[in-house]
Amino acid sequence: METSAARTAQAVIVAIDGPSGTGKSSTSKAVAAQLGLSYLDTGAQYRAITWWMVNNGIDISDPTAIAAVAAKPEIVSGTDPSAPTITVDGTDVSGPIRTQEVTSKVSAVSAVPEVRARITELQRSVAAAAERGIVVEGRDIGTTVLPDADLKIFLTASPEARAARRSGELRGADLHTTREALLKRDAADSSRKTSPLAKADDAVEVDTSDLTLQQVIECVVTLVEEKRAAK
Ligand SMILES: Nc1ncnc2c1ncn2[C@@H]1O[C@H](COP(=O)(O)OP(=O)(O)O)[C@@H](O)[C@H]1O
Ligand SMILES: Nc1ccn([C@@H]2O[C@H](COP(=O)(O)OP(=O)(O)O)[C@@H](O)[C@H]2O)c(=O)n1
């Protein structure tokens, strides 16, 4: 991928992928803040386009209908790790994109190739504009969006650990139901034809099941610093 002329020599591109609840967002934000990098939550972008589809009455079960309007919403992500933002056509959607309805529909929308092409282009332009470098988190960053990233991390954790973390966030939502919903979304995201959730061959895999968030952050910060030093 081309490097932006605006980027400094020390700029570093970090791709963090993995399934839901492995700690991608918390880790990426903290690492970016600690190292003075930008931050991009690509899941929020897929959630935002899904929110727009739902809001505009698009039939989510019809990939052709989704593809036909995929270019319509204007999605803008703010990349400050201490205050990330996301808007659709100028409206702040950071709250509405986290509803159960959006969560249950996002895998169907994100599987449509026209949606992925559009959002991938957006992600690459955000990464290219990040002068000091960026931490980009998602499902296909290391494999498809930024295959030349300086560092690729693939976070994993047991379904039990992930469900416990998520149900904690949802104020004690039933553990079994949360676990089943997580596994269903993982299966959909991993089995789609276009850029499925997958570990890049050159990604470092970190199992976070028995690590604290602080330990995961320290591990990734060390790996980024090693890459920077070797540049
Ligand atoms: N290593 C960890 N140990 C315990 N809780 C964690 C850990 N990593 C993340 N969490 C918590 O789990 C929840 C999901 O983390 P998040 O970063 O949103 O995961 P993801 O972005 O992969 O879905 C958050 O409440 C977060 O604070
Ligand atoms: N790079 C990405 C990021 C997310 N997604 C899709 O967006 C959904 C929501 O991602 P997310 O990161 O917000 O999900 P959580 O792990 O935070 O629950 C995923 O389940 C995928 O369907 C994707 O297809 N590709």
Amino acid letter, residue 54: V
The ligand whose atoms approach the alpha carbon of 167 most closely is 1
Instruction: Report helix, strand or coil for 96.
Output: helix
For the chain, the domains span: 12-226
pLDDT on residue 2: 45
Mean pLDDT of 215-225: 98
Rounded CA separation 149/166 (Å): 29
Does the model's ipTM exceed the 0.90 cut? yes
Establish how many alpha carbons lie within 13 A of residue 153's alpha carbon, considering only the half-sphere containing its beta carbon.
28
State the distance from the centre of ligand 2 to the C-alpha of 43, rounded, in angstroms.
4
Rounded CA separation 70/114 (Å): 6
Amino acid letter, residue 190: S
Could you identify the atom of ligand 2 that is nearest to the CA of residue 19? 16
pLDDT on residue 172: 60
Taking CA 195 as the corner, what is the angle to CA 41 and CA 1, rounded to the nearest 5 degrees? 70
- Assigned CATH for 12-226: 3.40.50.300
> What pLDDT, in 10s, does the model give residues 17-43?
999 999 999 999 999 999 999 999 999
8 Å CB contact between 79 and 134 = yes
pLDDT over threshold 90, residue 171:
no
pTM, two decimals, is 0.95
Mean pLDDT of the chain: 94
pLDDT over threshold 50, residue 74:
yes
8 Å CB contact between 182 and 132 = no
Instruction: Report helix, strand or coil for 212.
Output: coil
The residue whose CA is least distant from atom 2 of ligand 1 is 213
pLDDT on residue 8: 63
pLDDT band (50, 70, 90) for residue 3: very low
The first and second tokens of residue 6, run together, are 């605006």
Burial of 114 (0-12, 13-18, 19+ CB in 10 A): middle
State the distance from the centre of ligand 1 to the C-alpha of 169, rounded, in angstroms.
9
The first and second tokens of residue 179, run together, are 């676990």
